[in-house]
Amino acid sequence: MNQKIAVITGATKGIGRAISEKFWLLGYSIAVCARSEADLEQMKKSLSATRPDQEVLTKVCDVSQKNQVGAFAKTIHETWGSVDVLVNNAGTFTPGKLIEEQEGTLLHLLNTNVMSAYWLTRALLPDLRAASNALIVNICSIASMQAYPPGGSYAVSKYALRGLSTTLRDELKEENIKVTSIFPGATWSASWDGVDMPKHRLMLAEDVAMAVTGLLAMSPQAVVEEILLRPQLGDL
């Protein structure tokens, strides 16, 4: 199979959409998932109109549910059987204090932000191994490195995702599968809709996407383990 394949979760908006579009422009066929079928159909239609020779595989998937993640992986395997890039981007943020938040918040955030990446990576390992010099990118957060108010369980989940990344990096290095963690600071996305903030104060989703696709330029014998991105004027 000559075509390159990229898999991106949480792909219809914000950082995930920007990453998907970058890989599409580089000639990759892509497999994307999100919770909204309408958003996925709109995205597929938009991309396919520009490059009909490339494939867009879409799947409605709530990544906090193991069975749905497994179904997404199964569809990818049956369609292609090989994956060059996996971007675990899907995530959610619930503001609040760890000691005050509603019961169940931590479990929901762990399932969405960490277990989704764990389930999908494990499920797609045969397909990543089938590719040459595959790459796994986990979209972490500044919150993976430093707790901040009102991060609550979100920070806990993002710290855990960083731990997952470093462990995968160690376990897969002998198999020529690269693992990179991206730590974006404040970035314009749907979660910032309605916020009265100067446009220049936050990064663009495209900035994160450029950091991800820039990893493709590395030689097979080199890996970027971590990338930290912040707004020029610093954290909010």
Does residue 225 carry a pLDDT above 90? yes
pLDDT in tens, 107-159: 999 999 999 999 999 999 999 999 999 999 999 999 999 988 899 999 999 99
pLDDT mean over 210-217: 98
pLDDT in tens, 84-95: 999 999 999 999
- Residue-averaged pLDDT of the chain: 95
Count of CB atoms within 10 A of residue 148's CB? 14
Residues in the chain: 236
| Residue found by looking up tokens 């932000």 in the block | 113
Does residue 1 carry a pLDDT above 60? no
For 5-229, CATH gives 3.40.50.720
For the chain, domain boundaries = 5-229
- Can you give 162-216 as a three-state secondary structure string? HHHHHHHHHHHHHHCCEEEEEEECCECCHHHCCCCCCHHHCECHHHHHHHHHHHH
32 torsion bin: left (phi>0), alpha (psi -120 to 50), beta (else)? beta
Q: Phi and psi (nearest 5°) for 143?
A: -65, -10
